[in-house]
């Protein structure tokens, strides 16, 4: 998955550069093709590395594609008009205007897709009172797809010039869970999400597996509508299950009641900690729920939403993320109900070199992409600096 994303963005850079050359020169200067190809590959590969390190290489969006195309096309225009005679076309010829129009259209596309999605508001059909952590229970885990929901997951561990789907002990693993709704609206959406250590290494959920401690991971780390759970004890942090191992619901809500504003607190989940970008559901130190969902952010059919998180991989072993989707119209949060769908997302943590490990990640871009970037950058820079084809 990560490999294909890297190659795709590199090709987008090359295609954008060659398209710019074709528009500006009307295809009449084929001897410019080599340098345009190098400029495009350089900009595309550079953007792929930047994208992987900034986003965790979990998902590629139209915004990333548009930015890559804009940067590659802009650099190509600069190079075309920097290199000396013979002149390609008059400096303000038709080709140049067409190229700038294309760039403006790409910029508008990027701006449009950068807008936060809006979700229809649905009043909560149930208000919960006197909910206590120890009283929460779920009795039925057999999926009942009243609302067809497809769940997909992606994981990646990113360091400078290194991206892998298999982290080493001591690394962080980012994850993204995507929900796609096909034929019916997901009107009162909520999910459960927890990370387990797969003690018997069978990649299935069973009672022999153990929950990862709350302090080793966090969810809803982006600016989304997903409302996770925060307990305000001596060390405020996100919680994912009670002491009996029952996983807490995470609601997709437009509005909730207010007891505490979680965006004003630093939570201790993972060694790096974090401050939520939006308000969560709060619990007091006695384990009593203090806030309620007022309105759900309904997810219409034909749309997709996602929740992201981050895991601190403390020790080697086999693990998985278990996600279940529910609708509060057909299930009772904190009590019982059948999930609409579920997804188990396995991952492995290999030992670090200091622990006698040093296993090879499934895909590493440290030397491969660095050498590739140098291979296309050095000739491109050389041509531009010397101003010789």
DSSP string, 344-364: EEEEEEBPPGGGT--PPPS--
Instruction: State the Cα–Cα distance between residues 265 and 45, nearest whole angstrom.
Output: 38
Same-domain pairing of 110 and 178? no
Which tokens hold the place of 24? 């500006």
Phi and psi, residue 351, nearest 5°: -70, 150
- 98 with 140, same domain: the answer is no
Q: Treating both helix axes as pointing N-terminal to C-terminal, what angle do 62-82 and 33-55 enclose, rounded to 10 degrees?
A: 140
pLDDT over 50 at 237, yes or no: yes
Enclosing domain of residue 27: 2-115+364-386
Q: How far apart are CA 334 and CA 281, in angstroms?
A: 13
The CATH number of the domain holding residue 250 is: 2.60.40.2550
What is the rounded CA–CA span in Å between residue 228 and residue 251?
Answer: 7
380 lies in the same domain as 316: no
Instruction: Give the span between the Cα atoms of 70 and 108, in whole angstroms.
Output: 11
Rounded to whole angstroms, how far apart are CA atoms 99 and 105? 10
Q: How do strand 149-159 and strand 172-181 relate by DSSP bridges?
A: antiparallel
Helix-strand-coil split of the chain, %, nearest 5:
30, 30, 40
Q: Residues 109, 126: one domain?
A: no
Residues 105 and 162 in one domain: no
152 and 274 both lie in a single domain: yes
| Mean of the per-residue pLDDT values of the chain | 80
Strand order in the sheet with 162-164: 162-164, 149-159, 172-181, 304-312, 217-219
Q: Which residues pair with 197 in a beta bridge?
A: 210, 319
Domain count within the chain: 2
- 100 and 140 share a domain? no
309, 200 contact by CB (below 8 A): no
What pTM was estimated for this model as a whole? 0.73
Q: Do 258 and 371 fall into the same domain?
A: no
pLDDT at res. 312: 94
Q: How far is residue 191 CA from its own chain's centroid?
A: 17
Q: Stretch 258-269: mean pLDDT, rounded?
A: 92
Quick one: 234 and 283 in the same domain? yes
Lowest mean pLDDT among 12-26, 43-57, 102-116: 102-116
Question: Do 171 and 296 belong to one domain?
Answer: yes
User: What average pLDDT does this structure show over 62-85?
Assistant: 75
Q: Return the closest-CA partner of residue 363 out of 52, 150, 143.
A: 52
Shared-domain flag, residues 377 and 287: no
Mean pLDDT of 340-355: 85
Are 274 and 153 part of one and the same domain? yes
Measured distance CA(189)–CA(250) in Å, rounded:
9
Higher pLDDT, 73 or 346: 346
């Amino acid at each position: 998955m990560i490999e294909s994303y890297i190659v795709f963005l590199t090709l987008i850079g090359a295609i954008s550069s060659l398209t710019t050359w074709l528009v500006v020169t009307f295809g009449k200067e084929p001897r410019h093709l080599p340098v345009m190809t190098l400029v495009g590959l350089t900009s595309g590969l550079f953007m792929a590395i930047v994208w992987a390190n900034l986003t965790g290489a979990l998902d590629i969006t139209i915004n990333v594609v548009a930015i890559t195309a804009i940067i590659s096309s802009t650099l190509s225009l600069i190079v075309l008009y920097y290199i000396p005679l013979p002149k390609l076309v008059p400096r303000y010829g038709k080709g140049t205007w067409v190229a700038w129009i294309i760039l403006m259209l790409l910029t508008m596309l990027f701006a449009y897709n950068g807008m936060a999605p809006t979700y229809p508001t649905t009043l909560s059909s149930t208000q919960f009172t006197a909910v206590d952590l120890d009283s929460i229970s779920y009795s039925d885990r057999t999926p009942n797809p009243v609302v067809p929901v497809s769940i997909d997951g992606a994981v990646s561990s990113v360091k400078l010039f290194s991206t892998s789907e298999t982290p080493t002990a001591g690394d962080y693993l980012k994850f993204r869970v995507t929900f796609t709704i096909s034929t019916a609206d997901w009107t009162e959406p909520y999910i459960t999400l927890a990370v387990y250590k797969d003690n018997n290494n069978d990649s299935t959920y069973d009672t022999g597996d153990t929950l990862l401690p709350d302090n080793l991971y966090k969810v809803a780390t982006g600016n989304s509508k997903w409302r996770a759970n925060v307990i305000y004890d001596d060390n405020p942090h996100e919680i994912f299950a009670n002491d009996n191992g029952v996983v807490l619901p995470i609601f997709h809500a437009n509005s909730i009641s207010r007891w505490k504003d979680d965006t004003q607190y630093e939570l201790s989940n993972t060694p790096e900690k974090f401050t939520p970008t939006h308000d969560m559901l709060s619990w007091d130190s006695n384990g009593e729920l203090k806030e309620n969902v007022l309105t759900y952010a309904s997810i219409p059919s034909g749309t997709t939403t996602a929740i992201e998180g981050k895991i601190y991989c403390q020790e080697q072993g086999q693990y998985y993320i278990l996600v279940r989707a529910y609708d509060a119209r057909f299930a009772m949060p904190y009590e019982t109900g059948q999930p609409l769908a579920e997804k188990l997302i396995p991952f492995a943590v290999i030992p670090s070199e200091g622990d006698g490990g040093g296993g090879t990640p499934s895909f590493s871009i440290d030397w491969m992409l660095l050498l590739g970037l140098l291979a296309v950058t050095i000739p491109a820079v050389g041509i531009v600096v010397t101003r010789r084809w």
